[in-house]
A and B are shown apart, each in its own frame.
Chain A
Amino acid sequence: MDVSPLLLSLKVAFLSTIFTFVLGILAARLTVTMRKGKGFVDGLFTLPLVLPPTMVGFFLLVIFGKNGLLGGFLKAVGVSVVFTWVGAVIASTVVAFPLMYRTARGAFEQLDENLLHAGRTLGMTEPALFLRVILPNSIPSIMAGAVLAFARALGEFGATIMLAGNIPGRTQTVSVAIYTAVQAGNWELAYKWMLIIFTISFITIIAMNAWTRRASSFGKGGSRAWR
């Protein structure tokens, strides 16, 4: 059995989770602090969640393609996106981004406003407030968003096949491999891949939940806790 789709899927999922993690948090911070045009920007950031993935893939193709908006520039610096694993990372990042963005935004908005006011009266700057108060107190939601983003990126199909294609050994991820296997009537291979993906996804979620509970307890639930 050729394991290259699994290695590629993991590589793509990890990289795009890292990108969406950072981008989603920054985007959430931006919209939470925005005064005007909040609804428009929020709609824009959420679009990849509601559009058909094939449509997202098509847009990406338009942007990153040979004659696309960024295609010419990328070609000049020697990076090709279409039909490469980089394209798969971009596709997964874009599709998973709204999940990270929306959970992070929800967490920031739910935070007790007085914590922010208190921080400011104590002389904290906005970046300090974000790094030392807002982020640490949003860990559970942010991690939940990261898990969702990872799971979504791992299973990404539509946008990936549009942008990165289905080249065995180069851009064929597990999701695409399952599709190909079923198309070819190779159900045995399809079942194997499904079992592997099922196991990885499930373990990721369980492990993340356990870690999040520990990392965000801040003395709650300890034996000396006051009720």
Chain B
Amino acid sequence: MALIVDIEKKLGDFTLTSRFEAGEETLAILGASGCGKSMTLKCIAGIETPDRGYIALDGQVLYDSASKVNLAVRKRGIGYLFQDYALFPNMTVAQNIACGIQNKDSRAEIVDELIGAFFLNGLEKQFPAQLSGGQKQRVALARMLASRPDLLMLDEPFSALDSFLKWQLEQEILKLRDRFSGTILFVSHNRDEVYRLCDRIAVMEDGATQSVLSKTELYHNPQTLSAALLSGCKNISPAKRTGDHSLFAESWNVHLATQQTIPYGLKYVGFRAHQFELANGDSTNILPCRVVRLIDDMFSVILLCMPLDVPPSDDALLRFEMPKSVWETLKEKDTLYFRMPEDQLILMR
């Protein structure tokens, strides 16, 4: 494994416990704001010091509380892309890129190469204040690669961008993956970004890393409540196991059959807002609902529904998404019958 992280750090009443390994891949750390994602990166970079634990990169120990190893930030060989890019305002584009290159003889050559690779030709003598957001990110990426790091860490690089620019910059990151063969850590709270850019995903909740999942696993079998929420699952209810293939969903007051075997210790059941079938009253896994609110989206309709026979509460509220054309055929009905396919239910412990 290229990167091994196993650290603990206490910050007031918040405790960070990060435990994961990454090979030569793009690993995402997915979590809500304030869950400790950035702190994990800072500990790996050496900007923050953990209370105890172990960090190693390509066999070299960066931090080990047992043998009191704590390598200086500048000796760790880590490229860090900051949220605000942190370009040096007093240096031109070329100077920014050059300042990470230790070897004086090859400096000009490397700068030229990176200027070309990131389409910065003509901007060499500009200052960061004169650049657009996209140009700034390209400079930051070039500067990061110039120092020949062994590990790249990208800290929410798209968080403050509009969707068009975001798409362009995502393409830059994808290209970066072609130029860089080592480990890339990508921190984000956005499941779509993560799904497009990464191979595996470490879910983080309340300062602790949960299991590392492949992205298809996260989508189809998130295993924990937090992972299901981060994967974008909108309908979740506390659930009780009633048999090997049957359960009771408490919030919705309904018995459901499942295709997969239900684990002991089942706590929640969920399904995605678009994974339903329309049915009439007499098939299995049926949830009769009335529409509480209709939200008109760009290409689809989002329905907020309340199951019949359930006292109204926010917990019981269900969310369904469907194309506008489908809604046209339903809108006259008082009660809608949604069927949850047995193989699409998400089981969480």
Contacts and interface: CB of A to CB of B under 8 A. Distances in A.
Contacts of B79: 121
A218 B47 contact: no
Given A219-B128, A219-B129, A121 B99 contact: no
Interface string B79-100: 1101110111111000000011
Interface residues of B, number: 36
Given A114-B84, A118-B80, A121-B80, A222 B74 contact: no
Interface stretch (A59-67, A79-87, A131-139): A131-139
B271 to A, nearest CB: 41
A147 B73 CA distance: 36
A132 B146 CA distance: 18
A118 B129 CA distance: 17
Nearest to B76: A121
Contacts of A122: 74, 99-100, 143-144, 146-147
A191 B126 CA distance: 51
Contact of B89 (A119, A121, A123, A218): A218
Contacts of B47: 117, 120-121
B131 interface: yes
Interface string A121-152: 11111000000110011000000000000000
Looking at chain B's contact residues, is the secondary structure mostly helix, strand, loop, or mixed? loop
A202 interface: no
Report which residue of A122, A123, A132, A136 has the largest number of chain B beta carbons within 10 angstroms of its beta carbon: A122
Interface residues of A, number: 23
Interface in B37-56: 42, 45-47
B78 interface: yes
Contacts of A132: 88, 91, 99
A121 B78 contact: yes
A113 B61 CA distance: 26
A166 B99 CA distance: 53
A224 interface: yes
A125 B74 contact: yes
Given A123-B74, A123-B147, A118 B86 contact: yes
A117 B80 contact: yes
Contact of A117 (B73, B89, B91): B73
Given A123-B147, A133-B88, A218-B89, A118 B82 contact: yes
Interface of B: 42, 45-47, 72-76, 78-80, 82-84, 86-91, 99-100, 102, 126-132, 143-144, 146-147, 149
Given A112-B84, A118-B82, A137-B90, 10 more contacts: A115-B86, A120-B47, A120-B74, A121-B149, A123-B102, A124-B99, A132-B88, A136-B90, A218-B90, A219-B127
22 contacts: A112-B84, A114-B82, A117-B73, A118-B80, A118-B87, A120-B46, A120-B73, A120-B74, A121-B149, A122-B99, A122-B147, A123-B75, A123-B102, A124-B100, A132-B91, A133-B90, A218-B89, A219-B126, A219-B127, A225-B129, A225-B130, A226-B130
